[in-house]
Amino acid sequence: MAEKTYCEYCNRNFPNQDALAMHNTAKHPITNPISKKNHTKTIFIVLIITTLLIGGFLFFENKLISGNSTQQQGNVLNQNKEIQKITLSMKGNYYPNTIKVKSGIPVEITLDNSIKGCYRNFNIPELGISKYSSGPLDTITFTPNQKGTFGFRCSMGMGTGTIIIE
């Protein structure tokens, strides 16, 4: 039986099997079974690396954003003489878990979109503050007039934190 020495894709004859293989590798790399296998493997590897890079970028971008916006110590984020703005997020509990504000200056607390369920009902019982925040545009605003350390929590007491009024 004679070996097949013509290209099925361009109907060209070759003197031997080696010449056909070289032609297929050069002109039709995807049709070559060996090249097709390597091509699929290469695409798979590129997809995995791309996915890891994008995932890593998104993870670290979130860390940088949340790290800078909350200052990781729970200090006042944006303080001027008119209002002290604080954004709380959820990392297993309210984050930051401890916040510091100055007495006599209005405070605006925003619960970001990561906060869900009963955690959206924000309470500072000792200051008489209890408000449900439906989203980031619905802020909790108050002016602390007494100094001290007070606990804040959700409506069920599952999420807790501390506000220090200086």
Do 134 and 84 belong to one domain?
yes
Question: pLDDT tens across 15-53, in order?
Answer: 888 888 888 888 876 655 555 556 677 788 888 898 888
pTM higher than 0.85? no
Question: For residue 90, what are the domain limits?
Answer: 71-165
* Residue 85: predicted pLDDT: 94
Question: pLDDT tens across 80-122, in order?
Answer: 468 999 999 999 999 999 999 999 999 999 999 999 999 999 9
Is 50 a member of any domain? yes
Q: Which residues of 15-47 are buried (b: 16+ CB within 10 A; e: fewer)?
A: eeeeebeebbeeeeeeebeeeeeeeeeeeeeee
Q: Which residues of 100-117 are buried (b: 16+ CB within 10 A; e: fewer)?
A: bbeeebebebbbeeebee
Show the CA angle centred on residue 154, arms to residues 148 and 160, nearest 5°.
50
Name the one residue in this structure whose structure tokens are 């599952």.
Answer: 158
Do 75 and 155 belong to one domain?
yes
The continuous run of DSSP H or E covering 76 comes out as none
More confident residue, 78 or 156: 156
Is 9 a member of any domain? no
Nearest residue to 141 via CA among 122, 160, 158: 122
Do 105 and 132 belong to one domain?
yes
Amino acid in position 94: Y
Q: What are phi and psi of 11, to 5 degrees?
A: 50, 45
% of the chain residues with pLDDT over 70:
78
